């Protein structure tokens, strides 16, 4: 438990001091609030780790084993970035659970950045999902942070800085969640076509990118151990096979109790199922499915998420909206379990908050 306090304090203090470096009155208030919230969140995380109010998740053991040389990066490539970010904490404490302190600090960094640039939305750094995932040693807060920075650069009006930022973001995503790097490439392709001023060229580019993407989807099953589809209209069958493979991963004891529509979603055809999956990305669980406290907690977060998404669509630039809906559409295709969607929705907060920041800066 001590390790969580030490790491969150060191990492968090570094972040808030950088964010409050101007030294004006607003920066001092931000420093005060950041340090207070850092202490509160660190206490909550340490208490949860000790008492297991919410069952602790141990994913950072992979990152710790990478750092210590017990695992090969080739076998656990999606934990490379987490191992690098956590390296000072692991070196200082030699404990895998020091990663919890890093996640607490990342949330405080996010709050400090929001306070400095747009204090009226800084409270959004403490939505139920963001607080929840800061209590565990999962890599999800790191993914959210990378997506946050990726969308900030994606919305940069300066082409050179945007391309450089996207390159760095793609490398970071490859080292933590490679499928999001693919979405980043797709978002850049669609934005490039969208920004073309010539009305005859833009549809051609969009059609070209769409054909390349669909062709990639038709070949992707080889990497997933599924049979490739020979014709494009068989893609819904491919998505259904992949969905069923994911939906069958959990028994009731392993999380199947939070399957969407109690597991009956697999009985739906592709198009009605996809409609339910899209709705479930925003509202999880559906109100009539709230039977346990964790589900009520997730529904509360859904209310907050919908409000933040509404603010985002009122204020964010077009580029951020493109990225957001690409992410929602892709994640929803394979959603089967509320717990998994709850985790996959966390990076969407990074998209929303980055879009709100860019929208505010564009109006200044």
DSSP per-residue string spanning 340-359: HHHHHHHHHHHHHHHHHHHH
| Count of CB atoms situated within 10 Å of the CB of 6 | 15
Residue 202: its pLDDT value, please? 55
Give the model's pLDDT for residue 252.
Answer: 43
**Residue 254 CB-density burial (10 A; 0-12 exposed, 13-18 middle, 19+ buried):** exposed
Q: What separation in angstroms does the CA of 275 have from each of 2, 244, 280?
A: 46, 16, 9
Direct distance between the N- and C-terminal alpha carbons of the chain, in angstroms, rounded to an integer: 44
Could you read off the pLDDT tens digit of each residue along the chain, which spans 364 residues?
788 888 888 888 777 777 666 666 777 787 888 888 999 999 999 888 887 777 777 677 888 888 888 878 777 778 889 889 988 988 888 888 888 999 999 999 999 889 888 888 999 999 999 999 999 988 899 999 999 999 999 998 888 888 899 999 999 998 888 888 888 888 887 787 766 655 556 566 556 555 655 555 555 555 545 555 555 545 555 555 555 555 555 544 444 457 788 777 777 777 888 888 899 999 988 888 888 888 888 899 999 999 999 999 999 998 999 899 989 988 888 788 888 889 889 999 999 999 999 886 555 5
Q: Read out DSSP for 41-104?
A: HHHHHHHHHHH-SS----THHHHHHHHHTSS-TTTSGGGHHHHHHHHHHHHHH--TTHHHHHHH
82, 74, 131, 122: which is closest to 104 by C-alpha? 131
pLDDT given at position 68: 84
pTM of the model: 0.85
Q: Are residues 100 and 12 in contact, defined by beta-carbon separation less than 8 angstroms?
A: no
Cβ pair 287, 115 in contact under 8 A: no
**pLDDT at residue 346 in the model:** 94
Residue 105 to residue 16: CA distance in whole angstroms: 9
Q: What is the pLDDT of residue 21?
A: 65
Cα-based distances in Å from 208 to 189, 193, 213, 319, 327: 10, 10, 9, 20, 20
The pLDDT, as a whole number, for residue 236 is 59
């Amino acid at each position: 438990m001590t390790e969580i306090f030490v790491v969150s304090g060191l990492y968090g203090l570094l972040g808030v001091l950088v964010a409050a470096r101007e030294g004006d009155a607003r920066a001092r208030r931000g420093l005060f609030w950041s340090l207070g919230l850092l202490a509160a969140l660190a206490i909550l995380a340490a208490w949860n780790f000790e008492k297991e109010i919410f069952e602790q998740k141990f994913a950072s053991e992979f990152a710790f084993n990478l750092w210590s040389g017990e695992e090969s990066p080739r076998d656990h490539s999606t934990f490379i970035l987490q191992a690098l970010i956590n390296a000072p904490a692991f070196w200082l404490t030699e404990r895998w659970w020091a990663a919890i302190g890093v996640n607490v600090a990342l949330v405080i960094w996010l709050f400090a950045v929001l306070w400095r640039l747009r204090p009226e939305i800084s409270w959004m750094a403490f939505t139920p999902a963001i607080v929840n995932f800061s209590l565990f040693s999962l890599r999800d807060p790191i993914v959210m942070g990378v997506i946050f920075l990726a969308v900030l650069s994606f919305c940069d009006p300066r082409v050179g800085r945007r391309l450089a930022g996207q390159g760095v973001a793609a490398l970071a995503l490859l080292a933590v969640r490679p499928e999001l790097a693919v979405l980043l490439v797709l978002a850049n392709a669609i934005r490039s076509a969208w920004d073309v001023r010539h009305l005859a060229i833009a549809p051609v580019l969009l059609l070209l990118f769409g054909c390349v993407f669909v062709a990639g989807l038709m070949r992707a099953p080889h990497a997933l151990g599924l049979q490739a589809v020979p014709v494009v209209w068989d893609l819904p069958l491919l998505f259904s096979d992949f969905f069923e493979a994911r939906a069958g991963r959990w028994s009731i004891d392993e999380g199947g109790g939070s399957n969407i529509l109690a597991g009956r979603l697999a009985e739906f055809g592709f198009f009605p199922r996809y409609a339910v999956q899209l709705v479930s990305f925003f509202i999880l669980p559906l109100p009539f499915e709230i039977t346990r406290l964790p589900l009520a907690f997730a529904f509360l977060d859904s209310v907050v998420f919908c409000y933040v998404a509404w603010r985002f669509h009122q204020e964010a630039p077009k580029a951020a909206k493109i990225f957001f809906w690409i992410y929602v559409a892709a994640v929803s295709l394979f959603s089967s379990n509320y717990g998994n969607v709850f985790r996959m929705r966390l990076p969407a907060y990074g998209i929303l908050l980055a879009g709100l920041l860019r929208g505010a800066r564009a109006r200044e």
